[in-house]
Amino acid sequence: MQFVNPNKVLLEREMNELDKLVIDFISILKKHVDYVIISGYVSLLFGRSRTTEDVDVFIKELTDKHLAELYENLTEKGYWCINAEELQTISEYLNSGSAVRFAKINSTIPNFEVKFALKQLDLEAFKDFVVVETRLGQLKISSLERQIAYKRFYLKSPKDTEDAEFIENLFKDKLNKDKINKYKILLKSI
Amino acid sequence: MNFLKPGKDNTEDRLNFVRYWAEYCRTHTDEDWSRQQNILINAMMHNAKTFPLSPKEYLKLKKEPCNR
């Protein structure tokens, strides 16, 4: 992989079935709303040797009209929401800060855990992101420093600590340590 | 590249492997490490199709509501 700059990485990996699904889902999503992929899938994209059942995605808040258009487009392309069928229920979940999960119709794993970025710290992921250029298209992920800080200082499970360790060791000389510390302080205050 | 160091316990052993694998990914081509990682991830994708869970069953495990 080539670390072009703190906001761009070129990745020449062979894409697996999960990567292809992510590219497909994101190609639909990004027509309707700005997004950023966060958490576990980011580590997997760069090579972490584990699997995941879900891909976490922040999207910007949508009006009911725009959410309806997105939902209709996802449905047309073979996805369903596994939490609810009715648009109104999906909208209520998202607007209350809960995530909703989309998967290929008649399946549940893997799924996309989609959430409105409503809090200030969540919204900052849209300003601090990395574009990963893959063989099948671009993916927008939250910054590596943010990933590390969230996993190491907020989520803290063994799996999350290992994800943070992986990204730190992989990009060790490319990371902005001051930014990790900034996030660490912000996360300790919530 | 250094050899993989055994850990004193499971936690250390896992972390040692994470560091070893990160070093491997850093020092080998993307094609090389991804070919190995894909075996694991594609197997998970295959298993998910072979043993599907209904939304109700899955969300019960996640302790999340299901209105389907």
pLDDT digits (tens, 9 = 90+) for B21-68: 999 999 999 999 999 999 999 999 999 999 889 999 999 999 998 998
Record the pTM.
0.96
Those residues whose C-beta lies under 8 Å from the C-beta of residue A49, and which sit 6 or more positions away, are B17, B21, B36, B37, B40
Find residues 159-188 of chain A whose CB sits inside 8 Å of chain B: 161-162, 165-170
Region A47-68 average pLDDT: 98
Number of Cβ within 10 Å of residue A102's Cβ equals: 25
pLDDT tens for A153-167 read 999 999 999 999 999
> Burial of A37 by CB count in 10 Å (0-12 exposed, 13-18 middle, 19+ buried)?
buried
**What would the pLDDT profile of A123-151 be if each residue is shown by its tens digit?**
999 999 999 999 999 999 999 999 999 99
Total beta-carbon pairs less than 8 A apart between chain A and chain B = 113
Rg (CA), chain B: 18
Verify whether the Cβ–Cβ distance A106 to B52 is below 8 Å. Answer: yes
The ranges assigned to domains in chain B are: 10-61
Is 90 exceeded by the pLDDT of residue A188?
Answer: no
With cut-offs at 50, 70 and 90, classify the pLDDT of residue A78. Answer: very high
- B2 pLDDT above the threshold of 90: no
Task: Mark out chain B residues that contact chain A at CB-CB < 8 A.
Answer: 11, 14-15, 17-19, 21-23, 25-26, 29-31, 33-38, 40-42, 44-45, 48-49, 52-55, 57-59, 64-68
B63 sits in the region (left: phi over 0; alpha: psi -120 to 50; else beta) called left
Percent of chain A with pLDDT over 70: 100
Q: What is the overall mean pLDDT for chain A?
A: 97
Q: Which residues contact A190 (CB under 8 A, 6 or more apart)?
A: A121, A154
- In 3D space, the residue among B6, B49, B45, B61 whose CA is nearest the CA of residue A17 turns out to be B45
Residue the block writes with tokens 């298209």 = A137
**Residue A172 CB neighbours (<10 A):** 11
Q: Indicate yes or no: CB of B67 within 8 angstroms of CB of A12.
A: no
| Residue in the structure block whose two tokens are 């694998």 | B21
